[in-house]
Amino acid sequence: MLLLIDAGNTRIKWALALEDAPPGRWTAQGAVLHAGLPELGATWLAAGAARAVVANVAGPDVRARIEAALPPGLAVEWFASTPERAGLRNGYREPGRLGCDRFAAALGARALAPGQDLIVATCGTATTVDAVTADGRFIGGMILPGLALMASSLARNTAQLPQVAPGAAPPPLFGDNTDDAIVSGCLSAQAGAIERAAAAHRASACIVSGGAAPYIAPALKLPHQVVDNIVLVGLHAAAVAT
């Protein structure tokens, strides 16, 4: 059994998978805010995993807390960006400086859409939009503030604009009130970045993931696939290719 962990800036996502399962097919999964991390220890212990693959972009304190929650004696790989992994070549100028979550997301996207020029967008605290070629090269991407961060920045740095959050239904493109206008602007900025990347890359596939994906995906005017936890899919692909 494999334990896969994606420690992001806001949440800890995890999944359990059989060693021979295809990437993204899990026996269990979950997510908690950082404060809920200690509660996962018993769950992970009961799972009986033989090894774990962990991507952590939340810093050394969260890493230490994950280590404390992991079952004793578990073989742990702290996933890192490398020049090549699982058939994906890392085209970053300094491969090791690519965020490990972005590299894992690209691996996951390629596992789900092999042999295609693709865009993978992960929409969380930050939104990253990255390009992978059909022959398996990560060529780089974009990083922009995430949907909630955009909205909170407006509220924090302007005198009269409110703090807003997207609702169940997207607002009209041209909002006739300030709240809708802010949400429409933030959604348009996120969707526009993804669409621009897809057009420039001439992508035949676009995968969207992350906590804000359910809000951003409906604003996209191009074919796309919403995938839960694409970073975990990539960790799974890396693990089974080892």
Question: Which residue matches tokens 């900025």?
Answer: 189
Backbone angles phi, psi at 215, to 5 degrees: -90, -40
The sign one gets for the Cα dihedral 219, 203, 91, 135 is positive
Is 101 an active-site residue?
yes
Q: What angle do CA 24, 78, 240 make, to 5 degrees?
A: 35
Instruction: Say which residue the tokens 């004793």 belong to.
Output: 72
Find residue 17's DSSP bridge partners: 2
Which of these is catalytic: 6, 20, 101, 176? 101
Cα–Cα distance, 230 to 8 (Å, whole number) = 12
Written as six digits, the tokens of 58 are 């939340």
d(CA 120, CA 195): 11
Characterise 136 by phi-psi region: left (phi > 0), alpha (psi -120 to 50), beta (else).
left
Closest among 42, 32, 39 to 6, alpha carbons compared = 32
Which residues does the annotation mark as catalytic?
A: 101
